[in-house]
Amino acid sequence: MDYRNLGASGLRVPVLSFGAGTFGGSGPLFGAWGNTDAKEARRLVDICLEAGVNLFDTADVYSAGASEEVLGQAIRGRRDAVLISTKTALPMGEGPLDWGTSRARLIRATEDALRRLGTDYIDLLQLHAFDASTPVEEVLSTLDGLVAAGKIRYVGVSNFAGWELMKSLAAAERHGYPRYVAHQVYYSLAGRDYEWELMPLGADQGVGALVWSPLAWGRLTGKIRRGQPLPEASRLHETAQYGPPVDDEKLFDIVEVLDAIAGETDRTVPQIAINWLLNRPTVSSVIIGARNEEQLRQNLGAVGWRLSGEQIERLDAISAVTAPYPYFPYRRQEGFARLNPPIV
């Protein structure tokens, strides 16, 4: 397993990390992902640690806290061997203090997460969404206090727009608060919007990407093909409406190229899709998930080898889409492109 610094921080993370969204799954979304219990979770954690994957990502909203509880049980007795990443901000109830990132909410949410995880510190706390109702200075000063108290060690965000992240980074710089070092983002061969603004921002500001849903919400598993019905066992039947949109024809084109490269490399479609991401700028770690040992071992096979330059070019070409305004001139017109050369 290779390790990379998380953004501009000194925290070294594995290039693959494990997403615990399947732990304790319940409800229409997380129940469809999986319902791994503590015993099964401990086995999956064992396999991850044997492979060098020591970063485990969860969130308070995953199955109303059950994911954090099961993860805490699975790592019991080996806390020093793992890195825990969790997220907060999304609603956990109907009350006024059950959502957002106000001072009261952040302190309470952190204490609740620590209790569920069975630990006295969180390695990386990420804000699951931008809270427009709370001043960024209030958010950052609260995080600063939690870091000073030893309850969290690094801070990051997830699903922020470019201006939201840059506003927060500027405020942190101005007041001397901890800077966000991670941005958990959706990025895949079937969804490359991250590249338009958030990737250049991350490169400029030292914010590393933690990639969620690298298989495009289960669409790049190798089981979805042009002209064939959706597999009966696919979770997309229940969860498609919750995930990022994907153009079907574009998806089928991408899968056909993935199939061809799979035949050339003796690798699986998911392994190739994940490996492609590991070559992209600013990516610190790709979060993989698994409902069982077989799926986990297959996803772990995405590392330890490299796609050829020619194969990467084919994947780049088939998955490329026209960026919206104001980004497309910088890719199409020479004068614009000279001012902002591509990130490599």
Token pair of 294 as six digits: 């077989």
* CB distance 202 to 189 below 8 Å: no
Residue type, 60: D
CA 236 vs CA 207, 229, 239, 249: distances in Å: 31, 12, 5, 17
Q: Scanning the structure block, which residue is given the tokens 């949109």?
A: 245
Distance CA 37, CA 277 (A): 30
Catalytic site includes residue 154: no
* CB distance 98 to 139 below 8 Å: no
DSSP secondary structure letters along 206-272: T-EEEEE-TTTTTTTSS---TTSPPPTT-THHHHGGGS----HHHHHHHHHHHHHHHHHHT--HHHH
3, 62, 154, 327: the catalytic one is 62
Distance CA 116, CA 86 (A): 11
Count of CB atoms within 10 A of residue 330's CB?
Answer: 18
Provide the annotated active-site residues: 62
